[in-house]
Structure 1
Amino acid sequence: MPTTKPNILFIMSDDHGANAISAYGSRLASVFQTPNLDRIAREGVRLNNCHCGNAICTPSRATIFTGQHSHINGVRTLSDSLDTEATTYPKMMQAAGYQTAIFGKWHVHSEPQGFDQYYVLPGQGYYSNPFFIGPDHDWGESYSHSDPGGDRHEGYVTDLVTDFTLDYLKNVDKDRPFMVCCHHKAPHDDFEYHPRHEYMFDGVTIPEPDNLWEDHSRRDPCTRHYGTSVSDRNPFRNAIIRMSQPDYVTGQLDVTGLDAEGRTKAAYQKYLKDYMRTCAAIDENVGRLLDYLDGSGLAENTLVVYTSDQGMFLGEHDYIDKRWIYEEALQMPMLVRLPGEIPAGSQNQDLITNVDFASTLLDYAGIASDPGMQGRSFRSNLQGQTPEDWTDAIYYRYWMHMTHHHNPAHYGIRTQRYKLIHFYGLPLDATDALPYSTPPGWELYDLEKDPDENHNVYSDPEYADVVEKLKARLFELKAELGDEDEKYPEVMALPTR
């Protein structure tokens, strides 16, 4: 007889901002629809306050698997590897009798553990004709994107990851519960879309966010633009420069004869269109998975989760990429469906982070959370029953210093109304070759009055009491989670702590 424990299909993309899912109703919904992702929201719940604790790929994925913050699981940056001995929810499910598998992007460097089957991309992987590696791969070998080893498959990566997932679903033992991770590379940059989407935005003008033209002088000096003329807009990971190269993957952006404003507008249109074309393939392939679940009779007993490892800036604040604690990078889209338990068409406003994912998935599998996990199951929240003692704040920390990736290191908390951030990106030595530095500082945003985070009110006397209370809560939370600054003398030494 089929098990009563639910099957789990965990679909995760890379850098898929909630603004690019039409169920979230952003400015982009008027020009870009995601009907299959919207279907999960329509038949389940849409989470509006789901966040990551470190908005960068490898650390976020490690947190999802371990249920631990970066400073505990040891994966703080893109260079860190997940310890193969770490306790993870797939290991625990496998030990409890679940069939487990993962297909697609892995990106925590060490060999996958806790999976009966895996077939994953080496590193970032390719969009076109990608390599995949399985258990026969020598994980002691180094590999590069140009020669990663493994098996090369003809086709488009989003389609192929879905093909492998569908093959697994078709052959899985239907009398035992399964947990399968379908992890897409898309829409990570550079946005190499499938040719079938080449013309989908012909004649369409993508709406600009109001703060594409943000006046950064309103920010604390620690987060203003440094190092180039303001006429080039954001100098860090600059989309104009990148897409103007002759070998850019989707064709060179022509900015000949354009002034600074014209270059920004042209780059924005290309960047957004390429990005959403890449997202279109994700939506189509999510539809393939949902259709199979329906046709096979698995839908009624399968928990379907769609999320991304973090959000993505799509021109907001004149930014691309992620990394910052600001909402567009911090927010993870999350859509969840389980017929008969999760109310269809519902929304959830509770503060949830990716550190909670492992405990929640284990809860659905009937497995007690590991004592070392720092998250908490939000299964009852998904049913519309928020525990009275649910958290009032979430903690975030980005560790990668700007000498490598152009963002100041920082930590902070977000409550339902406020966001307090401490930027401690260490000031560069005066002899450093880079022409910019990041002085330490603070920012505070009132998300009720300023949801787009355009006005830093940290120094506003009206918010003095708010600052005091939020600082106390921030350092209380840091102590609870074991991430106290006393461990890092260079941070303690900063004058504005």
Structure 2
Amino acid sequence: MIRIVRRFTALFLFLIVPLLSFSQARQARQRPNIIFIFSDDHAYQGIGAYGNKIAKTPSIDRLAREGALFKNCFVTNSICGPSRATLLTGKYSHMNGYKRNDRTLFDTDQTLFPKELQKNGYQTAWIGKMHLNSLPVGFDYWNILPGQGHYYNPDFISQPGDTTRHTGYVSNLITQFSTEWLAKRDDSKPFFLIVGHKATHRSWMPDLQDLGAYDDVTFPLPANFYDEYEGRVSARDQDMSIDKTMRMKEDLKINPDYQKDGLFNRFTPEQKKIFKDYYDKVAREAEAKNLSGKALIEWKYQRYLRDYYATANGLDRNIGELLDYLDKSGLAENTIVIYSSDQGFYLGEHGWFDKRFIYEESLRTPLIVRYPGVVKPGTTIDALVANIDWAPTVLDLASTKIPSDMQGKSFFPLLKAADPQRVPWRQAVYYHYYEFPQPHHVYPHFGLRTNRYKLAYFYDGADSWELFDLQKDPTEMSNIYGQKGTEKLTADLKAELKKLMVEYKDQEALNILAGV
């Protein structure tokens, strides 16, 4: 009898183990692939899907039509490196140790979501811009730009740390390397890929085929272009204006030094001729007009946006090429595509370019998620999400356990809900910016943003509160802090601000708050 049972058990195991293995393999194949396209300084208000009528962003707009567009995605520290550190960790800057764009080495020993994906059988890769002073960890493959990287003929650092210069335009090369990796990856595993674009970072150098793409456009001045910053000390004292900060040679390419300037000395002779011929024409126009005062400021504004949008054209075209590759390779159906930027950017609002402030244009960043068969095409989501949520969401999408030290929360429930507005969600987003005084002299500050209000405290010299009613004042021109009738609102918002500082363990901010 015992011998019969043993034979039956052996036969059962012989039959069931292959079935289990087949089931596990099938489950692995069904787990979604994920591509996170991450641009640099791409303003939400410069995208067609977010209402821009001038920008040519058909590929990003396509993602929005086929997926979900988040209207209120905010960053927690509006600066490049810290935003990337938050992407990888799901934690605030004070918790992941990367507060500023400086020579700090990003701590790769801490919890990083790609490490968790690897544990769950995902194949991971980062291609393009990383900008964290450290080589990637948690990625099976990487090929990254050193630091900021270059637009033309850029260097790439690949495993095991070799640096190679490649001929071509950076956005095109990043797409090329991404599709090459997708073609040769281990297709028995689901994959996660970050495509890190350099565009649209300063100094906005378009692909040769995009030069002059907006030369027939006259961009309307933002209503607050000539903001006088009344009642806003920090806004008045910054150094990021198109008028005073934007450089004619380096930023607007007016008679630059093509031999010595590192932005321009990497061209091949053929590239240089096309690029130089175009900007020599622009320089002659500037010299002929001999502008000064407001006329010069507004000319600089037009040139800035023409270069910025032309650079974004190349970014969008390459996103389209990647989407086309997914279609042709049969990967699109089981691949989640996420598009976002490391933060927002000023396109002349308040007379500025750059980011950093808690004000809306730099606080808010685009976020679009396409998930075929799960996310209803054309969905819009109003909930207040933040970049601390990106890491836990990716893990949740990949059915991977979310580590307890991540401070964000998965917004997957918003994506799959029939009505995202009915999903319980946070009512305020917390913000803390540190980098001061260089560059751009933006005072450090912390604050919160609710559906209607924004409260911020600027310190280290500015020492002032600002309060905005975004419903009545969406361009944040009127600081109502201290006005009669705002006492209860201010007290409630300060209490919520302190609560968020405690929740996110920002002891430095709590100490400052206690002294004001």
Does the pair score TM above 0.5?
yes
Alignment partner of 1:243 out of 242, 248, 252 = 252
Letter matched to residue 451 of structure 2:
Q
What is the alpha-carbon distance in structure 1 between the residues aligned to residue 189 and residue 483 of structure 2?
59
**Residue in 1 aligned with 2:220?**
207
Alignment of 1:340-379 (within 5 A): 340-379=373-412
Alignment partner of 1:86 out of 105, 110, 118 = 110
How far the C-alpha of 1:462 sits from its partner, in A, is: 2.8
Report Cα offsets for 1:434-486 as digits up to 9, x if no partner: xxxxx310111111111111211112213222111101110111011111347
What is the alpha-carbon distance in structure 2 between the residues aligned to residue 404 and residue 257 of structure 1?
29
Q: Does 1:271 align with 2:304?
A: yes
Q: Does 1:61 align with 2:84?
A: yes
What is the alpha-carbon distance in structure 1 between the residues aligned to residue 174 and residue 404 of structure 2?
33
Summarize the Cα distance change of 1:226–1:202 in structure 2 as closer, same or farther, 3 Å threshold.
closer
Letter matched to residue 319 of structure 2:
V
**Residue in 2 aligned with 1:223?**
235
**Residue in 1 aligned with 2:22?**
none
Q: Does 1:101 align with 2:125?
A: yes
How far the C-alpha of 1:126 sits from its partner, in A, is: 0.7
**Residue in 2 aligned with 1:8?**
34
Largest Rg, 1 or 2:
2
How far the C-alpha of 1:54 sits from its partner, in A, is: 0.3
How far the C-alpha of 1:386 sits from its partner, in A, is: 5.2
Q: Does 1:310 align with 2:322?
A: no
What is the alpha-carbon distance in structure 2 between the residues aligned to residue 70 and residue 130 of structure 1?
29
Alignment of 1:458-497 (within 5 A): 458-485=481-508, 491=512, 497=516
CA contact (8 A) 1:240 1:263 kept: no
Number of equivalenced pairs: 462
CA contact (8 A) 2:242 2:301 kept: no
Letter matched to residue 431 of structure 2:
Y
Higher-helix-fraction structure: 2
How far the C-alpha of 1:243 sits from its partner, in A, is: 3.4
TM-score by length of structure 1 reads 0.89
Q: Secondary structure at the residue paired with 2:30?
A: coil
**Residue in 2 aligned with 1:193?**
206
**Residue in 2 aligned with 1:332?**
365
How far the C-alpha of 1:283 sits from its partner, in A, is: 0.7
Q: Secondary structure at the residue paired with 1:321?
A: coil
**Residue in 2 aligned with 1:25?**
51
Summarize the Cα distance change of 1:168–1:313 in structure 2 as closer, same or farther, 3 Å threshold.
same
After the TM superposition, list the runs of 4 or more consecutive aligned residues in structure 1 that deviate by more than 6 angstroms. none
What is the alpha-carbon distance in structure 1 between the residues aligned to residue 464 and residue 166 of structure 2?
49
How far the C-alpha of 1:170 sits from its partner, in A, is: 1.4
Which runs of 5 or more structure 1 residues have no equivalent in the other structure? 138-148, 428-438
CA contact (8 A) 1:239 1:267 kept: no
Identity of aligned residues (%): 40
TM-score by length of structure 2 reads 0.85
Alignment of 1:106-125 (within 5 A): 106-125=130-149
Q: Secondary structure at the residue paired with 2:69?
A: strand
Q: Does 1:181 align with 2:216?
A: no
Q: CA RMSD in A?
A: 2.1
**Residue in 1 aligned with 2:430?**
395
Summarize the Cα distance change of 1:240–1:210 in structure 2 as closer, same or farther, 3 Å threshold.
farther
What is the alpha-carbon distance in structure 2 between the residues aligned to residue 345 and residue 318 of structure 1?
33
Alignment partner of 1:172 out of 185, 203, 211 = 185
What is the alpha-carbon distance in structure 2 between the residues aligned to residue 302 and residue 318 of structure 1?
40
Q: Secondary structure at the residue paired with 1:191?
A: coil
How far the C-alpha of 1:226 sits from its partner, in A, is: 6.7
Q: Secondary structure at the residue paired with 2:174?
A: helix
Letter matched to residue 473 of structure 1:
E
Summarize the Cα distance change of 1:270–1:472 in structure 2 as closer, same or farther, 3 Å threshold.
same
Which runs of 5 or more structure 2 residues have no equivalent in the other structure? 1-25, 258-263, 265-274
Letter matched to residue 462 of structure 1:
G
